[in-house]
Amino acid sequence: MGAAMKQSMARSRRLRRPCISLTFALLCLFLVTVVYITAYTVGKFSMDARGREKLDLTDRIIHSMTRRFQECQAQKQLLKNGQTTARMALEIAQETKKKLEMELGLMRNRNTLMLQSVEECKKELELLKENGRGAVTLALQLDRLTKERQLYMDAIAVVNRSSDVGRRQTADVFAAIAKEFDEWEDAAPNKTELLTNCNNAMRRYSIVFDAGSTGSRVHVFRYNLTSTPHAGNFSWNGTRPSLASFLRLDDELFVENYEPLSSLANPNDAVASLSPLLEAAKAYIPESLHACVPIEMKATAGLRRIGRERAEAVLDVVRRLFARGPFWMQSELDSVRILEGWEEGPLAWLTVNYLLGALNGDNNTATILDLGGGSTQIVMHPSDPKAIEAYAEFSYALKVNGRSFVVYQHSYEGNGLHAAKEQLLQAVAANNTGANSKVQAANKIATGTDATPGASADVAVDAFPCFPKGYVHTETGISNTRDGGKVPSMEECSALFRRHVVRKHQPCGSNSCGFNGVFQPDISAVPMVPVYAFSFYYDRLKPYIKDEVIRVQDVLDIASQVCRSMKSVRELLEQNDTK
């Protein structure tokens, strides 16, 4: 009997054991799910709160930087106009330093929050990997969190990189401000006599270095003063009127080289490249006025294209060169820097219209076209400001002699003379890839169709219409050698540029477009004013024009004639041999 009961109880336990195991497993799964959902909810709430805090910090940083930039611009203009004393400038520098320190602290706090978010994601992932494999919902959460983690990692990488740059830039700002602060203090006791002599001079000079994509140039401008509003003993606490209305351009020294700073293998080579230009400026300006003369260098598309780190290394070398003297570098950071594309055109427009005397009174201003090696700029002044008021990125505001201007400006990066040529050659080479490209390529420009069925190239690599007969471009292999070469064609070459580089009919989101999908005001919105085209426009056209007034049709005629009469490579070699 006892044995029978034991056997019966054993059978009963064996029957219940699977049921208990299943119940326990379900209970465990339920508890794990509740725990992880709770943890995820708490974590998500924490992340949301931290995300809001990060956004708030970012907004505060942007607001502070924007306000500081506006204040700096305003104070800079006051300093240029002589409406701020040196002592006031020192106070401004101290206040700016405090604001920069505050911004750096905000950036550090934002960086810390990002790091905390990443660490929390890592911990959650580790826990899910250890315990969450049995539940489908948790597996889905795991996938989602993995993606979130990657997004956070990407974000923190960007923040860290930008913070490194930001810290370096902030450190540079601190160093420059501290140095300028010391220079201001040093100048007060021992430079008053020098500055008095500068103020009393009736002849003034300024030095501007232009670091372009094809070389460097120095312009030394000489002005005569019609009056001396700054005459007398210099006072550090006094305010001085602007000299702009008293200056008359008298002469200019221009010296150039063909060594673009962007091509230097070693940033220190900038010293050897620029020193001859600097020596020319020293020789042109009387030694007694050297310390009075402001010097600056502005770089354009060449340095913009090589990356900020390489460019800054070059600029630092130039700053050290200028700091040795004997000229006056007003501000390390502003005197030697890269001009952004949106600045380059308006400054050229300002120069041209200043020389024309168009900035005074109600005179109409000229439109300018500037063709450089790496970019090209266009700037015009619409008679109706509404023509560009909806396009802030294409607007630039200036105030000169009490008159306000809002001009249209755009810099076409990559559409300078040399950069556009590189674009075209790369496009043609890309369209002619493949082992049978030379066989399949047809001159679509000349015929309007492909000579070989299925050909994808729009011009044969050995019948390039922009080159002289017999010429071979070694980097791409593109040439004009088929059947001994063909006479270059302006029409065919222009068609290639319109296809690959200057795409005229690309939409821009407006009824009025320039090219490559860029907004440009309707020409009817601009008064009938002269257009000044300079830089490579002038260099390339000057040998073919009698005076400096030219029409668009004249340019087309000249280009056609130059192409038709272009000598072959063989003829050029024979011509050189006879010399």
pLDDT (tens place) for every residue of the chain, 579 residues total: 444 444 444 444 443 444 444 544 554 455 445 444 554 454 544 445 555 565 565 666 665 666 666 566 656 655 555 555 555 666 666 677 676 666 666 666 666 666 666 666 666 656 655 554 444 444 555 555 555 555 545 544 444 444 444 444 445 545 554 555 555 455 445 566 666 778 788 889 999 999 998 999 999 999 998 877 656 555 544 555 666 777 888 999 999 999 999 999 999 999 999 999 999 999 999 998 998 899 999 999 889 888 888 999 999 999 999 999 899 998 877 899 999 888 999 999 999 998 898 988 778 899 999 999 989 999 999 888 888 988 889 999 988 877 889 999 999 999 999 999 999 999 999 887 643 444 344 344 333 444 333 334 567 789 999 999 999 999 999 999 999 899 999 999 999 999 999 998 889 988 899 999 999 998 776 778 899 999 999 999 999 988 888 999 999 999 999 999 999 999 999 888 776
Which of 190, 225, 242 terminates a domain? The answer is 190
Domain that holds residue 76: 7-190
**Are the C-beta atoms of 472 and 429 separated by less than 8 Å?**
no
241 and 388 housed in the same domain:
no
Q: Residue 331 to residues 142, 181, 183, 198, 334: CA-CA distances in angstroms?
A: 54, 11, 11, 19, 5
Which of 156, 190, 224 terminates a domain? The answer is 190
DSSP 289: G
77 and 115 housed in the same domain:
yes
Distance from chain centroid for Cα 223: 32
**Are the C-beta atoms of 376 and 516 separated by less than 8 Å?**
no
Based on the residue annotation, tell me whether 343 is a catalytic residue of this protein.
Answer: no
> Is 374 part of any known ligand binding site?
yes
> Is 373 part of any known ligand binding site?
yes
Which of 291, 316, 339 terminates a domain? The answer is 339
Instruction: Count the helices and strands in the chain (H runs, E runs).
Output: 16, 10
Residue 554 lies in a domain: no
281 and 293 housed in the same domain:
yes
Rounded CA-CA distance 508/77 in Å is 35
490 and 522 housed in the same domain:
no
Residue 440 lies in a domain: yes
> Is 375 part of any known ligand binding site?
yes
Verdict on whether the full-model pTM lies above 0.85: no
Q: What are phi and psi of 188, to 5 degrees?
A: -55, -50
Marked catalytic residue, from 344, 475, 491, 492: 344
Rounded CA-CA distance 520/394 in Å is 8
